[in-house]
Structure 1
């Protein structure tokens, strides 16, 4: 409590605890039993006097009343101060249950990367501390936690509760199972032959196939794996009738490419998905990368107008710089859970030797237009048209591991 002497000096304070706020009520702890703190004040300043109740004097669940009096160096006592009440609580709270609609107890729940809400049921709790699999702990006064799993399979949330008295519960372990993302992908092999003008989608897992329509002078030629599609710049392109990927979620795109004219323009796009006026992503060649030497890049925009674009570009130190007439495997990967994006360039299919560049991805948004093979999309129109051949183009609705990308490049 605060004590004050207008003349300053040392103040001795005594405390008394009773069963009621009444001097006639029974004394539980008298002023001779409680410690008597001495506080030194200067001038009219206040000080704080504290004392700890001896052990065994109070019962859990009981409500008590205390007041105090102070004596100065002249031996003069103040009157008793105001009464204050408190209740003793030595019983720890109990966490009795944890529930989640997205990730139920010991059942296969939502797919990895899906946000989950976990609700806590506890008695006498004032705050909660939780972690998943022994990771970083979070303390909150809310009786719930928001958690987004970044890996699939089995996980355990550990929850403890604390009451206002500082008592802590035991740990409640809540096991939940995170489903892996289904193998949903589109694959355009381009193994058709002229005069066919449609490239079949031979992938699986999506609710509908997404064949690509050949536009302009796009045609089938001998490729890296069977046939390929040859594009000679605008207006040559292969497009689907609608989106292939949910661009707000994790995805991986890749293709074998053989450029024929790298000097034609600044950028040449291999794969993209259209938004209203701009592509959400473009896997492409950029002539200005690496100080003007050119490079393979994976670019993502931060909004539907094309703003906030971010690029991950390979430096060409391991896989080599882009070369006209040479087949190379190029992939782009967006990890929604970590917020990272990568470009992969695999220049040696025998050993999967190549290189990877990673940056923080641009802000997430949903592009619901066509999936385009051989051009980008800017200001509501086609741009950065590809010149050369594209083979075995793929779009996966999940994060492929480095090894899985390597396997595709080792064909």
Structure 2
């Protein structure tokens, strides 16, 4: 390091310091940077956490345009005051190079920390140097090297304290106050529970920041936070642990499973609801839910329920919803609302849009719509508003539909209504049909919780293990409809050919599962129930294990089907021409009805191995049908289907309908046939096999 007299100019021997017509132009301050930060001095000087690289853009003599290259060298100079107040200077000269490339100087490691370092640069063209970048209207560039990490941040929260107590909070925002003992902190880097890495800028007078977080569920959570100073140094991490209790119960809840003839709906939470004479109890409940019964509203001026009190607070977060089955979808119908001045503060229900019915959630005139209401079909409908974000969303059957919207919050605390909404001339838009399990929450209901509220568990309707078939009948595990075996169908059991304990026994086949399976001859063999096992107009799941006898079957072969007189509501078959398993669904039980084919290419086992695990899942709520093969459904195995119909024929194993009647007989083995009403979740499909 060289100590020089302040103000002296350095130049290589024989280089003239001049700014005549033949000299390179003076470097511009705007073309200089310190480790990528623009040249600045004073309060705007950058702080860096490592010895930086200085960069400049230089031009040769007579060439002031960046696109035209000349060859020059760069001379850098840096200076600072040491601990004794003496000035220290360093210089560095680059080699000659094209001025179309940046010129840089990596400063040496001995640059002092916590000291203002100034620097400048000039261009040298042969024997002539440009003016320094500091001369005239120029200025020095400055930086400070800061290697000291800030102090570890301190976190406190009155909402979610770091102790062993469980705090009510799932769905309730909390504030976490973060502070650091260091005064040069410019941001806090943090994440909650391993979520996305976020950044907060201090806003408090002492360099503190308040972080907001919404626990989506109950459990033990952790906040990880580090302070970052202006040089980019990160502090040691602070880990703040807090315990969140399960989401608090609804502010109001009516199951509407009251006894027939009751004139009041009991409340699990909140006030009991008065029932109009057009409301009756004891109606059916949606299967696959905890509900035992529901209420029916007749769509007249007397069909309503109300607690004669407000439930949703003005300006507050809320979520309201319930299970409904409309008997009419031809006009505006209200599931739930809260009275306002001349119009409801919010209304949840259905309405007509673009010529068809849609589910609807409106808050102070801003409306969200989506989904397809169907008369006679159950649906869970919920509208949610988050006062923290000012946004609302509609959910149908546990899934978000339509778009999230910014809305004006509820302002009036009028009476809560079930089955009607208040207008300028009185109550209107009355519900017609069943309604049950109406809940109103005064907190955010997380998407996972909404999914649970709006889901119907699949119900096992039939399981045939196909272990035996005395007198040609294979029993259903729960005593339901048996499968009756036709000629050409039999139960194969291990050991039928020889004694498995005999070392010379080499059986020709093994059961697909357990001790036996259904064996079909491919010409006339099948097994069937006398009656339909599942309502194919509603959600259902059907699965089985199937092994083909041939690598190259001679014709298409149906493994599972259920239909009517002319066609199959669904059919799973193997098609040799495309070497694929296909799910076929017809649009009506009529001759020549259109079909939708969902296909996934798979090779048959050809008489060897454990067969393929096939499953069909139809979700009536989303009009989506999927074919799973060995637990997987790729894009080619998923399709929308809007024309499901209820079949009145029995479940068929090993045959399906064709234009000429029964056909597509399967040659091979079938085992472990299961049928469910409802949708078996994707993650549980593999467990069926």
- TM-score, scaled to structure 1: 0.70
Tell me the CA shift for residue 182 of structure 1.
0.9
Q: Helix, strand or coil for the counterpart of 2:152?
A: strand
Which residue of 2 is the match for residue 96 of structure 1? 153
Aligned-partner Cα distance in 2 for 1:250–1:228: 24
Tell me the CA shift for residue 100 of structure 1.
3.2
Q: Are the equivalent residues in 1 in contact too, given 2:73–2:123 (CA < 8 A)?
A: yes
For residues 24-48 of structure 1, what are the alpha-carbon distances to aligned partners after superposition, in whole Å with 9 as ceiling and x for unaligned? x8564532xx353657569xxxx97
Runs of 4+ deviating beyond 6 Å: 407-410
Q: Are the equivalent residues in 2 in contact too, given 1:132–1:157 (CA < 8 A)?
A: yes
Q: Are the equivalent residues in 1 in contact too, given 2:153–2:226 (CA < 8 A)?
A: no
Aligned-partner Cα distance in 1 for 2:281–2:331: 25
Which residue of 2 is the match for residue 113 of structure 1? 171
Tell me the CA shift for residue 233 of structure 1.
0.7
1:182 matches 2:251: no
Q: Helix, strand or coil for the counterpart of 2:105?
A: coil
Aligned-partner Cα distance in 2 for 1:37–1:99: 56
- 1:242 aligned to which of 291, 309, 317: 309
Tell me the CA shift for residue 371 of structure 1.
1.8
Alignment of 1:130-149 (within 5 A): 130-142=190-202, 143-144=208-209, 146-149=211-214
Aligned-partner Cα distance in 1 for 2:415–2:152: 50
For residues 332-390 of structure 1, what are the alpha-carbon distances to aligned partners after superposition, in whole Å with 9 as ceiling and x for unaligned? 2235569542223xxxxxxxxxx967333444422622221221233463111234565
Q: Helix, strand or coil for the counterpart of 2:177?
A: strand
Aligned-partner Cα distance in 1 for 2:94–2:294: 94
Which residue of 2 is the match for residue 359 of structure 1? 402
Q: Are the equivalent residues in 2 in contact too, given 1:214–1:237 (CA < 8 A)?
A: yes
Which residue of 2 is the match for residue 333 of structure 1? 382
Q: Are the equivalent residues in 2 in contact too, given 1:110–1:178 (CA < 8 A)?
A: yes
* Change beyond 3 A, Cα 1:409–1:231: farther
Q: Are the equivalent residues in 2 in contact too, given 1:190–1:220 (CA < 8 A)?
A: no
Aligned-partner Cα distance in 2 for 1:109–1:37: 67
Which residue of 1 is the match for residue 340 of structure 2? 275
Q: Are the equivalent residues in 2 in contact too, given 1:16–1:68 (CA < 8 A)?
A: yes
Aligned-partner Cα distance in 1 for 2:112–2:77: 16
Q: Are the equivalent residues in 1 in contact too, given 2:371–2:396 (CA < 8 A)?
A: yes
Which residue of 2 is the match for residue 384 of structure 1? 429
Q: Helix, strand or coil for the counterpart of 2:106?
A: coil
Q: Are the equivalent residues in 2 in contact too, given 1:18–1:26 (CA < 8 A)?
A: no
Alignment of 1:37-52 (within 5 A): 49-52=103-106
Q: Are the equivalent residues in 2 in contact too, given 1:270–1:282 (CA < 8 A)?
A: yes
Which residue of 2 is the match for residue 352 of structure 1? none
* Change beyond 3 A, Cα 1:148–1:395: same
* Change beyond 3 A, Cα 1:356–1:77: closer
Tell me the CA shift for residue 221 of structure 1.
5.9
Aligned-partner Cα distance in 1 for 2:94–2:299: 93
Which residue of 1 is the match for residue 74 of structure 2? 13
Q: Gaps spanning 5+ residues in structure 2: where?
A: 1-26, 29-57, 64-69, 203-207, 285-291, 460-689
* Change beyond 3 A, Cα 1:4–1:393: closer
- TM-score, scaled to structure 2: 0.45
* Change beyond 3 A, Cα 1:254–1:213: same
Tell me the CA shift for residue 219 of structure 1.
5.6
Aligned-partner Cα distance in 2 for 1:409–1:233: 35
Greater Rg by CA: 2
Which residue of 2 is the match for residue 402 of structure 1? 451
Higher relative contact order by CA 8 Å / sep ≥ 6: 1 or 2? 1
How many residues align structurally?
A: 364
Which residue of 2 is the match for residue 126 of structure 1? 186
Q: Are the equivalent residues in 1 in contact too, given 2:336–2:416 (CA < 8 A)?
A: yes
Q: Helix, strand or coil for the counterpart of 1:402?
A: helix
* Change beyond 3 A, Cα 1:190–1:66: closer
Which residue of 1 is the match for residue 258 of structure 2? 191
For residues 282-326 of structure 1, what are the alpha-carbon distances to aligned partners after superposition, in whole Å with 9 as ceiling and x for unaligned? 45455x47964x5xx542114x2xx222223336xxxxx314xxx
Q: Helix, strand or coil for the counterpart of 1:277?
A: coil
- 1:61 aligned to which of 83, 89, 114: 114
Tell me the CA shift for residue 125 of structure 1.
2.1
- 1:322 aligned to which of 367, 372, 375: 375
Q: Are the equivalent residues in 1 in contact too, given 2:297–2:433 (CA < 8 A)?
A: yes
